[in-house]
Amino acid sequence: MQENEDTLINDPYRDERYSSELQRRGVSKQFYDSNTTLTCPECGNSFNLFYSRAKYCTGCPESIKGCQYARCTYCDTEFPFRSFMSKKSSKVTSDYLGSIIQRYHNTFGERPGR
């Protein structure tokens, strides 16, 4: 299991996509990793993880607690991050997305679940 996770974390193409130009322009690695395109295992449609979390998960209290699920924007199916990334990457990405939603709620005075 650890070997499989190390393979996902050490994917040679993953870091090549995150270039020095993106770093120079201020794009964080967490933002880059969370702004990925996923394919729903249920309906087969592709959607953006960042858009999905921002659009469909902002009212859910779990979204700011590090929820490690993605929600399809077409069929509303939830599936775990770990089906397409390592356990470590899943945790980092979910924490990052949760912090963005928390910052939104703090800025606009809203609470999740309202």
Q: What is the mean pLDDT of residues 9-33?
A: 69
Q: Model confidence over 38-82: pLDDT tens digits?
A: 899 999 999 999 899 888 887 788 887 888 999 999 999 999 988
Structural contact between residues 82 and 94, judged by C-beta atoms closer than 8 angstroms: no
23 vs 78, more confident: 78
Q: Which of 1-5, 72-76, 83-87 has the lowest mean pLDDT?
A: 1-5
Cα distances from 54 to residues 15, 24, 71, in angstroms, run 25, 25, 11
